[in-house]
C-alpha cells in the first residue's frame, strides 16, 4: 500500500481527518524548506503538499505567485525540490509528500526521468494543476508503474459525468477545489462543500481532500467534519512572506498555525 493510503487508513481507524499543509519549495530560500517540513509534521501535519516553483503559476493567486518568485530568485528547480524531498526522507520515512505544480518543468525533463528521480527521492504523489486526465494517459501509466499516486482536482464546476471520469483516473486522494477562483481567494461555504462531497462519494472510495479558502482553525474544523482531508496553503505562505527576513522564525511560526488547526480538528 502506498504511504498516502496507509496514512488515510491509519487516520480513519483513529477517527481523525488528514491535515495537509502546502508550502512552496525554496520559499523564501532553499535552506528553509526541509526544516519547515519537519516542523509541520511535528505540529500535526499528516501529508505534505510541496509546491514546485513555476514562472507562470496561472491557477494561483498573488500569495503563491510571490512565493514562486521568491523561490525562483534562488533558482529552485524541480530537481532541487527532489533533493529536498530526499533530504527530508533521511529523517522521516512515514509522512507522504505530494508534489504540486505545473506541467512544464516535468515535461521538459521527461515523464520517465521525472518518475525515476521522484521515486528515488521518496515522493508519493503528484498533483499537476494544468494536466487534466484527458491529457494524462501516458503520464498516469508511468507514475503508476513507479508507485506514485496521481492526484486530480475536482471543482465546483465539474459535472457528474466528469467526476466519475476523474475518480477513475485519480489515486491517493482527490482534491476538491472548494471555490471558483485562484488559490487564496474567497472563503468557502461549508454546506455547499458538504453537498458536493456527498455527490462525489457516489462514485469513489478514494479519500477526499478539500482546499482553497481554509484560513484558520475554525474553517479547518468545519471542513474536517465533512471531508477526509483539509488542505491549507495561502495562510501558511502568507506567514512565510511576513518572515522573509527572519528565516529562523519560519518553521516555528508556520507550524504554530498548523498546530492550532490540528487541535481544533481533533477536538
Partner 1 sequence: MPTNIDLKALAQLPDSKGHFGPYGGRFVSETLMAALKQLEETYEKLWRDPAFQEEFDRDLAHYVGRPSPLYHASHLSDKVGGAQIYLKREDLNHTGAHKINNTIGQALLAKFTGKPRVIAETGAGQHGVATATVAARLGLECKVYMGAEDVQRQSLNVYRMKLLGAEVIAVESGTRTLKDAMNEAMRDWVTNVDDTFYIIGTAAGPHPYPKLVRDFQCVIGREARQQCLTQIGRLPDALVACVGGGSNAIGLFHPFIEDADVKMFGVEAGGYGIQTGQHAAPLSAGSPGVLHGNRTYLMSDDAGQIIGTHSVSAGLDYPGVGPEHSYLKDIGRAVYVDATDDEAMDAFRALTRIEGIMPAIESSHAVAYAMKLAKEMDKDQTIVVNLSGRGDKDIHTVAQIDGINI
User: What is the set of active-site residues?
Assistant: 49, 60
Q: Is residue 83 near partner 1 by the rule CB under 8 A? A: no
Size of the site for partner 1 (CB under 8 A): 45
Phi, psi of 212 (to 5 degrees): 80, 120
Rounded Cα gap, residues 264 and 195, in angstroms: 22
Rounded Cα gap, residues 61 and 84, in angstroms: 25
Q: Write the interaction track for partner 1 spanning residues 176-215; mark x where CB under 8 A is met and - where it is not.
A: -x--xxx--x------------------------------
- Please, which of residues 117-136 interact with partner 1 by CB under 8 A? 129-132, 134-135
Looking at the Cβ atoms of 42 and 107, the one nearer to partner 1 is 107
Q: Is residue 139 near partner 1 by the rule CB under 8 A? A: no
Rounded Cα gap, residues 239 and 252, in angstroms: 11
Are the CB atoms for 84 and 137 separated by under 8 Å?
A: no
Nearest 10 degrees: CA dihedral of 115, 118, 124, 129? -70
CB of 236 to partner 1, least distance (A): 20
CB of 159 to partner 1, least distance (A): 6
CB of 136 to partner 1, least distance (A): 10
Rounded Cα gap, residues 188 and 186, in angstroms: 7
Rounded Cα gap, residues 3 and 236, in angstroms: 24
Looking at the Cβ atoms of 158 and 224, the one nearer to partner 1 is 158
Q: Write the interaction track for partner 1 spanning residues 41-80; mark x where CB under 8 A is met and - where it is not.
A: -------------xxxxxxxxx--x---x--x--x-xxx-
Q: Is residue 255 near partner 1 by the rule CB under 8 A? A: no
Q: Where are the beta strands (DSSP E) in 35-162?
A: 48-51, 97-101, 125-128, 149-150, 153-154
Residues binding partner 1 (CB under 8 A) = 54-62, 65, 69, 72, 75, 77-79, 102-109, 129-132, 134-135, 152-159, 162, 166, 177, 180-182, 185
Amino acid at each position: 500500500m502506498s504511504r498516502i493510503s496507509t496514512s488515510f487508513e491509519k487516520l480513519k481507524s483513529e477517527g481523525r481527518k488528514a491535515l495537509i499543509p502546502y508550502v512552496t519549495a525554496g520559499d523564501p530560500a532553499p535552506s528553509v524548506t526541509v526544516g519547515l517540513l519537519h516542523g509541520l509534521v511535528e505540529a500535526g501535519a499528516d501529508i505534505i503538499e510541496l509546491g514546485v516553483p513555476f514562472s507562470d503559476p496561472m491557477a494561483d493567486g498573488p500569495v503563491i505567485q510571490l512565493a514562486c518568485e521568491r523561490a525562483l530568485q534562488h533558482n529552485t528547480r524541480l530537481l532541487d525540490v527532489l533533493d529536498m524531498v530526499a533530504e527530508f526522507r533521511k529523517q522521516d520515512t512515514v509522512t507522504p509528500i505530494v508534489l504540486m505544480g505545473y506541467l512544464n518543468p516535468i515535461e521538459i525533463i521527461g515523464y520517465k526521468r521525472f518518475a525515476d528521480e521522484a521515486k528515488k527521492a521518496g515522493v508519493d504523489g503528484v498533483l499537476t494543476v494544468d494536466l487534466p486526465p484527458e491529457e494524462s494517459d501516458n503520464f498516469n501509466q508511468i507514475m503508476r508503474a513507479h508507485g506514485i499516486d496521481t492526484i486530480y482536482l475536482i471543482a465546483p464546476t465539474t459535472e457528474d459525468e466528469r467526476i466519475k471520469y476523474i475518480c477513475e483516473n485519480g489515486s491517493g486522494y482527490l482534491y476538491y477545489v472548494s471555490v471558483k477562483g485562484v488559490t487564496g481567494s474567497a472563503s468557502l461555504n461549508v454546506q455547499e462543500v458538504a453537498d458536493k462531497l456527498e455527490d462525489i462519494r457516489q462514485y469513489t472510495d478514494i479519500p477526499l481532500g478539500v482546499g482553497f479558502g481554509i484560513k484558520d482553525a475554525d474553517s479547518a474544523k468545519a471542513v474536517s467534519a465533512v471531508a477526509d482531508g483539509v488542505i491549507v496553503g495561502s495562510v501558511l505562505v502568507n506567514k512565510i512572506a511576513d518572515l522573509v527576513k527572519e528565516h529562523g522564525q519560519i518553521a516555528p511560526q508556520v507550524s504554530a498555525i498548523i498546530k492550532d488547526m490540528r487541535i481544533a480538528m481533533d477536538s
